[in-house]
Structures are given as C-alpha cells and as structure tokens.
Structure 1
Amino acid sequence: MDKQIIFEDEHIRVIFLKGSSDTLVVSFGDLISRAKGMSINAEKSLIKYQYNVIGIMPKQKTWFPKSSMLQMQQQIQPILEQFKQIVGYGGSMGGYAAIKYSNLLNMQKIVAFVPQYSIDPDVVQDRRYAEFFDPSIHQEMQIQADEVDASREYIIVYDPYFAEDKEHFLKIQPLLPNMHVIHLPFTGHEALSVLASSQLLNDFVEQPFDITYFYKRVREVKKQSKFYYRHVLDALLTRHHQALLRILENNDFVLDERYFDALLKQKLVQQLFNLKQGTEQNLQKLGIQPHFVQHTEISALSIRTVQDKFLVFNLVSLKLESYSAEAIKANQQYLLPLKVTANAVVELELNAKSYLVTMNDRGIHKLVKVGEALALDQSLLLFKYYADFYSLSYKQLTLSCDDQGLSHFIDNSADEQTKLQFVSSMIQ
C-alpha cells in the first residue's frame, strides 16, 4: 500500500496510508509507538481491512502540542474532506489526542484506550507523566469542552480499578455526553495490549455500538491474551489466594519463560508452594522450569524467621525465601533448607552433594560446589551469631524477611525482620 509523509515538524510525523475502504482511520501513536521511519500505530491490523489511514506519530514525548496539530490540520484538510466517515483511534497519549482533536479533525467516532485528560501536575494528581509537561507548549492542554461535541461518538476503554487512569476518566466523563464505556478490570494501563486484535479493531471502527456485543467480543479477545493473565494474576495474587489455581485449572496454556518479570514469577511460584500445588504441570503452564530437582528427603529445618517461618533456598526462583513447615514438606523437591553453622558460610545439600550459596551485587544467587572456584563477582553468604539472635549477611548487608515470605538484603542489621533463630525443628 502507498505511504507518504503529509506533514512533519519537531513534534509529530504524519503519514497517509492509502487504502480502498470508504472509511478514514486517524491512528495516533503513543509513548511506545513513536515515530520510526514510516511506521503507523496498529498498521498491520489497519492494512488487513484496507482502511485509508492517517497515522499521527509523536516524535517526542510531548502529547501532541496544539500548535503542531493546528498546522497539521491545515495541511491535511483536503484529505479529510474526501471522507464522510472518519474514526480516531489511540491509547494513552494517543487516546488523549483522539478525544482532544476530535472536533479539529471532524471525527465521527473516537475509540480511546486509557486516555489522559492532561499531564499538567497542577491539573491532575497523576504524576506518571509530569516530567514530560512543558509549560511553553502545553498551555491549557487539558481536554476542553469546545474541543468535543455531542454529535460525535466516543468509546473509552479503561480499568476502573486502576486509580491513575480512573482519575483521568472521571475528568473526561462530564465533557462527553455521547460516550460508551467498556470496563477492563485488572489490566492497569495495558488495555490496548490486552485487546490487541485486528478483528476487534475492525469491530470498533465499523460496528454500531452494542454493549452486549462488545463485551462478548472483549471477553473472547482477552481470554486469548497473555497480557491479560499477567495483569490479572498480579492484581489478584495477594487478595484472592485461589485465583491462580482457578486460572491454571480452567485454561490450557503454556506461557513463554520470559512472559513474567522476575518478581512476579517469584510471587507466583511462592503462591503455588504455599498452596501446596507446586506441581510440574502448574509450573510449566507458567513457563517456569526449575534449574535443579532435589530427590532426597528433607526432614530438618534449622533457621526460623521472626514470622515463625523457615528459611529455605527456592530451586525454582533461585531465591532465599521463607515458608511454613507444611508448605516445605509439600514442595520438598524444590525448597531446600540451608545447612548452617554459627559464624560460618552458608551451604545446602543437593542430590547428596554440598554447595555454597553465593550472591553478587545484583542480587543473583548461584550454587557452587564445595571446593570449586567462585566467579569474580560472587561472594559468600555468612551465618552470624550474636548474643541474642542470628543473622545472614552478604558483605555489609543483612537479610531481611517480610510477612509474605520474600527476602532482600538491607543495610540495617538492627531491623527486627533481620533477626533469625537457630533451631532444631523437624517436619513430622
């Protein structure tokens, strides 16, 4: 399909993609999909349905300054006049622009995902984008009543439980008398990623709005979205302990190992172990492969935290964590108690062999066989004995254990959560 740049200044690049449909889609980029060559936001999906497209791509994180948009409008007006049906489409910064410039560009329908009302710190409490606010180009940048019109159809998609985006929605809502709202709970600011679908985009552009139809389509798309499960799990993990198991039981998927970030992956594994459901099948569904498998029976626990849990090394997350005795017994192929002696280095037994537990300054642990050389960036962990407590240290830092069973090293040996007990408790 033919493409040409039809306007460009220091803030935006505007590209016309000629199609064969009767509809013109004005597709706005966002912070991620900024101007790069001749690319257009949602280009593959729009080409699939042969839409004529004006792609307005930000060159900087400047939220489509009005001065640039007014100059652009004068340049592209001859193209706009060729179409009776013009649809605006964008997310976040692009959703903001789609609403704000709906009158300027004479758009009949606007589809905005998680839009902002403004990024002016004097206008909104949300500080995610405050660093990009520039008073010299953003005077009265909030969406104004005279920039929108009741004759236009506005569709907004957002997560009503995500406070930052809800603030913007509540400020936009009074300005839009003809507005349809689709709630997408537990997706945070990632609604556009969750609902990335060529067919759904086509529905938004072409279909008359019917709330039942669109919620049905949204449910179908989000259940196929890996982004959706990632956000749902992150949101529900601490509040609804059985949610993870229900998702794993009711869905047949195997996620890529890079699907979760390290912290969320650790929390998911920990939740499975606490629920005594750390099966190989459940771990594989989450794209998690253990680095080692321990086959020997574990019976003795020796380091207890202030939360009355026991400190172990997790062979899946490769982290020091704490669990109840029952959780360790149920997942003993993955959770190894430490082998410690007062005022000595920390070891553990794995498949009848002794390993040193080491760490580097990035918090990455490695197990090194006793007698083998350490990597230059690795240091040993020490189990120290004081008058009335024990502690576990890395260089000048001390291990702190929280109520959720996660641990991290802090520069404060007097913290209550750093104090450990050396006991001879047994799993029955």
Structure 2
Amino acid sequence: MDKQIIFEDEHIRVIFLKGSSDTLVISFGDLISRAKGMSINAEKSLIKYQYNVIGIMPKQKSWFPKSSMILMQQQIQPILEQFKGIVGYGGSMGGYAAIKYSNLLNMQKIVAFVPQYSIDPDVVQDRRYAEFFDASIHQDMQIQADEVDSSREYIIVYDPYYAEDKEHFLKIQPLLPKMHVIHLPFTGHEALSVLASSQLLNDFVVEPFEITYFYKRVREVKKQSKFYYRHVLDALLPRHNQALLKILEQNEIALDERYFDAVLKQKLVQQLFNLKQGTEQNLHKLGVHLHFVQHAAALPANVVTAQNHFVVFNLASLKLESYTAEIIAANQAYLLPLNLTANALVKLTLNDEYYFLSMNDRGIHKLVKDGDPFALDQSPLVFKHYADFYSLSYKQLTLSCDASGFTQFIENNADEQTKLQLC
C-alpha cells in the first residue's frame, strides 16, 4: 500500500496510507506511538481491512497543538473531501485529539480510548502530564464546545474506577451528552492495550453502535488479553485477597514466566503464600519456574522486623520478604528463614548446604554456594549489629521492611523500618 507524508512541522508528521475502502480512518498516535519513520498508529490492523488512513503522529509530547492542526487541515483538505465516511481513532493523547479536532476534520465517528480533556494544571487536577504543558502552544487547549457537534458519533472507552481518567471523562461528558460509553473496569489507563484487536477496531469503525453487541465483543477480547488479567489482579489484590485463588482455581492456565512484570509477580506469589496456597501447581500457573525448593528442615528464623515479622528469602520470587511464623511454617518449601550471626555476611542453609546471599545494583539476588566465586556484578549482603538494633545492608544501602512484607534497600539507615532485631 502506498504511503506518503502529506504534512509535517516541528510537532506532527502526517502520513497518508491509500487503501481500497470507502472509509477514511484518521489514526492519532500517542505518547508511546510517536512519529518514527513512516509508521502509523494501529497500522497493521487498518491495513488488514484496506482502509484509507491518515496517520497523525506526534513528534513531541505536545498534545497536537491547535496551530499545527489548523495548518495541517488546510494542507490535507483535498484528501478529506474525497470521503463521506471519516472515522477518528486514538487513545490517551490521541483520544483527546480525535475528540477536539472532530469538527475541524469533519469526522462522522470518533472512537477515543481514555482521552484527556486538557493537561493544563490550572484546568485539571491530574498531574500525570503537567510537565508537558507549554503555555506558548497550549493556550485554551481544553476541548471546547464549538469543536464538537451532536451530529457526530462519539464512543469513549475508559475505566470508571481510575480516578485520573474519570476526571477527564466527567469534564468531557457535558460537551457530548449523546456519546456512547464503554466501561472497562480495573484496566487503569491501559484500555487500548487491553482491547488491542484488529477485528474489534474494525467493529468500531464499521458497526452501528449497539451496546449489547459491543460489550459482548469487548468481553471476548479482554478475556484473551494478558494486560487485562495483569490489571485486574493488581487492582483486586489489595481489597479482595481471595480473588487470585478463585482465578487460579477456575482457570486451567500455565502462563509464560514473562507474562507478569517482576513487581506484580512478587505480589501474586506473596498473596499465595499468605493464603497458604503456595503449591507447585499454583506457582506454575503464574509462570513461576522454581530453581530452588527446600526439602530439608530449615533453621529457625531469628531476624525480626519492626512489625514482628520474620525475614525470609523467598525461593519462588528470589526476594527478601517478611512473614509471620505461621505463614513461614505453611510454606516452608519456598520461604527460607534468615538465621544470621551479627557482623557477618548473610549466609543461608538450603537443603543442608550453605549459600551466601548476594545482590547487584539492579536488585537481583543470587544464592552463591559456599566455596563458589561471586559473579563480578554481585556483592554480598552484610548483617550488622549496632547498639540498639541490627541492619542488613548492600554496599551503602540498608534493607527496609514494610508492614505488608515487602522490602527494599534504601539510603536512610535511620528509618525505623530498617531496624531489625535478633531473637
């Protein structure tokens, strides 16, 4: 399919992709999918259905300044006049532009995922994008009543439980009283990632809006989306501690070890252990591949946090954490208690063999068998005794243990959460 740049300035690059359909899709990029060569946002999906496409790709994080868009419109008007059906599509910054310039570009349908109303800190409380606000190009940048029209069809997809995006939605809503809304709970700002589907995008472009049909299609797509389960679990865990167990019990899954990022995977594993359900089967479902399992009786834990939890090395997540004695006893195959001596390197006993615990500057731990060499990027952890407390350190950093059992190495060694005791 032929591509050509039809407008470009310091803020945007506009590319025309000629197709064979009667519909023109104006696809707006976002903070992630910015101008790069001749690429267009959602290009593969749009090519699949032979759409004519105008890709408006941001070169900077500048939210499609109105001055650039007006100059662009004047340049591309002959192309716009060739089409009766024009659909705007975009997410976040691109969703904002699709709505704001719907009149200017004569779009009949606008599909906007998690759009902003403005990023002006004097207009919205949301500060996620305040650093990108530039008064010299963003004067009155909020979506205005005279920039939209009730004769146009607007579809907005967002998470009503995500406060930052809900603020923008509530400010846009009075301007578009007849808009269609699809709620996508527990997805945060990642609605576009969750619903990434060529077929669903095509539905948004060509299908008349019927709420039952679109919710059915959305459910089908999100059930296949790894992003959806990531966000649902992350949102539910703090409030519904049985949610993870129900998902694992009701689904025969075996996730790839890279499915969850390291932080979320650690949360999930910790939740399983707190529920006393840290079985090999459940860990395997979460994509946890075990390199170590404790088969022999472990030494008793003797390092106590400020919350009266015991510090352990989690063999599943390979992280230092803290738990109650009851939880450690229920998961003794995977939670290796720290039994330490003051003013010495951190040394653990695993299956009757001794290992030093080391770490690198990226926070990656390794167990080094007694007598084996350390990797060049790894340094040992040291357990130190002070007058009134103990601490566990890595170089100039000190281990801090929070009430939920997570740990991190921080610079402030006077913090109360860094003070440990021996029992």
TM-score category of the 2 structures, normalised to the smaller one: over 0.9
Deviation sequence 1:117-143 (CA, Å, 0-9, x none)? 111122111111112112221111111
Corresponding letter in the other structure for 2:301: L
Confirm or deny: 8 A CA contact 1:151 1:178 kept in the other structure.
Answer: no
Separation in 2, partners of 1:88, 1:369:
60
Aligned to 1:230: 230
**Displacement of 1:222:** 0.6
Confirm or deny: 8 A CA contact 2:355 2:370 kept in the other structure.
Answer: yes
Confirm or deny: 8 A CA contact 1:298 1:329 kept in the other structure.
Answer: no
**Displacement of 1:388:** 4.4
Aligned to 2:19: 19
Task: State the SS of the aligned residue for 2:78.
Answer: helix
Separation in 1, partners of 2:361, 2:221:
42
Confirm or deny: 8 A CA contact 1:40 1:57 kept in the other structure.
Answer: yes
Separation in 1, partners of 2:282, 2:74:
57
Separation in 1, partners of 2:222, 2:391:
46
Separation in 1, partners of 2:359, 2:80:
61
Q: 1:78 to 1:411 in 2, by over 3 A?
A: closer
1:43-192 correspondence runs (5 A): 43-192=43-192
Corresponding letter in the other structure for 1:70: I
TM-score, with length taken from structure 1 = 0.94
**Displacement of 1:386:** 4.0
Separation in 2, partners of 1:63, 1:330:
53
Deviation sequence 1:339-361 (CA, Å, 0-9, x none)? 31233222111222101112233
Separation in 1, partners of 2:137, 2:384:
59
**Displacement of 1:389:** 3.5
Task: State the SS of the aligned residue for 1:301.
Answer: coil
**Displacement of 1:397:** 3.2
Task: State the SS of the aligned residue for 1:88.
Answer: strand
Separation in 1, partners of 2:412, 2:75:
62
Task: State the SS of the aligned residue for 1:300.
Answer: coil
Corresponding letter in the other structure for 2:360: N
Q: 1:140 to 1:296 in 2, by over 3 A?
A: same
Aligned to 1:313: 313
**Displacement of 1:52:** 1.4
**Displacement of 1:300:** 2.2
**Displacement of 1:230:** 0.7
Deviation sequence 1:7-35 (CA, Å, 0-9, x none)? 22221111112222221111111111111
Structure 1 residue runs without a partner (length 5+) = 424-428
Confirm or deny: 8 A CA contact 1:266 1:317 kept in the other structure.
Answer: yes
Separation in 2, partners of 1:129, 1:237:
27
Confirm or deny: 8 A CA contact 2:341 2:383 kept in the other structure.
Answer: yes
Corresponding letter in the other structure for 2:401: C
**Displacement of 1:299:** 6.0
Corresponding letter in the other structure for 2:231: H
Separation in 2, partners of 1:386, 1:56:
61
Q: 1:135 to 1:388 in 2, by over 3 A?
A: closer
Q: 1:386 to 1:133 in 2, by over 3 A?
A: closer
Deviation sequence 1:93-150 (CA, Å, 0-9, x none)? 1100000000011111100000011111221111111121122211111111100001
Count of aligned residue pairs for this structure pair: 423
Q: 1:397 to 1:13 in 2, by over 3 A?
A: closer
Confirm or deny: 8 A CA contact 2:399 2:418 kept in the other structure.
Answer: yes
Aligned to 2:29: 29
Task: State the SS of the aligned residue for 2:104.
Answer: coil
Confirm or deny: 8 A CA contact 2:14 2:56 kept in the other structure.
Answer: yes
Confirm or deny: 8 A CA contact 1:34 1:60 kept in the other structure.
Answer: yes
Aligned to 1:277: 277
**Displacement of 1:73:** 1.0
Instruction: Report the more deviating stretch, 203-212 or 300-309.
Output: 300-309
Corresponding letter in the other structure for 2:420: L
Aligned to 1:196: 196
Separation in 1, partners of 2:177, 2:300:
67
**Displacement of 1:384:** 3.0
Aligned to 2:246: 246
Separation in 1, partners of 2:308, 2:130:
43
**Displacement of 1:387:** 4.5
Q: Percent identity?
A: 83
Q: 1:308 to 1:69 in 2, by over 3 A?
A: same
Task: State the SS of the aligned residue for 1:21.
Answer: coil
Separation in 1, partners of 2:257, 2:231:
16
